[in-house]
Amino acid sequence: MISIIYLVAPHVVERERRAEAPELIDRDGVVFSLRGGPRQPKRTDRDWDSVAVYAPDELSEEEFQELYELNRPGVPELNLHY
């Protein structure tokens, strides 16, 4: 399985598990594009699923990077080593 991380807004993250990570996902009328992964984290004290990160498709790369950094402190999967 793949852990899907949706970066919705600053400090707003949603998660879901899927068997695959398509390029685009429509969620409630908002199109999210795959921005990273899926990648398998290195082992820690627990086993992690592969992780894929999505953000609204209309965001530029710079806006995505800003949203990623704002959400990173509260999302363990964004702080893992790959």
Average pLDDT per run of 10 along the chain, which is 82 residues long?
Answer: 96 96 95 94 83 97 96 92 79
Q: Give the SS3 label for residue 79.
A: helix
Residue with tokens 């704002």: 70
Which two three-digit tokens encode residue 54? 């999505």
Q: Token digits for 75?
A: 């999302």
Q: Which pTM was predicted?
A: 0.91
Domain ranges for the chain: 2-79
For residue 57, give the 3-state DSSP assignment.
coil
